[in-house]
């Protein structure tokens, strides 16, 4: 079973990787970890430096995830793309990987589990969905394979 995981090295992405391995281990999945570095909106040298820093960090996160997969004896490969994360994840799924399932962790800016933080996160998520749409809602409307969105904790 080929499973593509949107992976940015965040806490939620690491949890999604662990949950995916736990849920699908018996099916001997082939995991494809896809990270996307967002292109800078302008080409000033400061933005280029930040972009290169992001690329470097994502490569490190992908290497850490590969170690997790090797320790769990799960086959995996990585892919690092550049551009709009929503569009590049859709592109990777439909044109490159052709997964049987896409796994994505629901992104959260929640710093802790407090009531105010959760309420604020819900409000921001709704506003995000109504205006620009989050990565998960964008993919949920467009992806042609089964999509598993794991909630943040």
User: Could you read off the pLDDT tens digit of each residue along the chain, which spans 153 residues?
Assistant: 999 999 999 998 999 999 999 999 999 999 999 999 987 666 677 788 888 999 999 999 999 999 999 999 999 999 999 999 999 999 999 999 999 999 998 765 555 456 666 676 666 666 655 554 578 888 988 999 999 998 766
Please name the helix (run of DSSP H) or strand (run of DSSP E) that holds residue 23, with its range, or none: helix 11-24
List, for residues 100-138, the tens digit of each pLDDT value.
999 998 765 555 456 666 676 666 666 655 554 578 888
| pLDDT score at 146 | 96
Short-list 112, 86, 103, 16, CA closest to 121: 112
| pLDDT score at 145 | 96
Short-list 144, 36, 24, CA closest to 76: 24
| pLDDT score at 132 | 47
| pTM score of the predicted model | 0.82
Sheet with strand 101-105: strands edge to edge: 75-82, 30-37, 2-6, 101-105, 147-150
**In angstroms, rounded to a whole number, what is the distance separating the alpha carbons of residues 67 and 136?**
26
Rounding to the nearest 10 degrees, give the CA dihedral for residues 129, 112, 87, 21.
-120
């Amino acid at each position: 079973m080929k499973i593509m995981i949107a992976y940015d090295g965040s806490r939620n992405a690491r949890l999604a990787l662990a949950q995916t391995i736990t849920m699908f281990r018996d099916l001997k999945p082939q995991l494809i970890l896809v990270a996307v570095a967002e292109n800078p909106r302008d080409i000033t040298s400061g933005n280029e430096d930040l972009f290169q820093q992001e690329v470097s960090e994502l490569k490190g996160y992908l290497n850490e995830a590969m170690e997790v997969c090797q320790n769990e004896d799960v086959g995996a490969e990585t892919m690092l793309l550049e551009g709009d994360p929503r569009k590049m994840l859709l592109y990777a799924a439909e044109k490159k990987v052709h997964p049987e399932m896409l796994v994505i962790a629901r992104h959260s800016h929640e710093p802790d589990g407090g009531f105010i933080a959760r309420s604020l996160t819900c409000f921001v998520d709704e506003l995000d969905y109504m205006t620009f749409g989050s990565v998960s809602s964008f993919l949920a409307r467009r992806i042609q394979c089964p999509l598993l969105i794991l909630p943040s904790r």
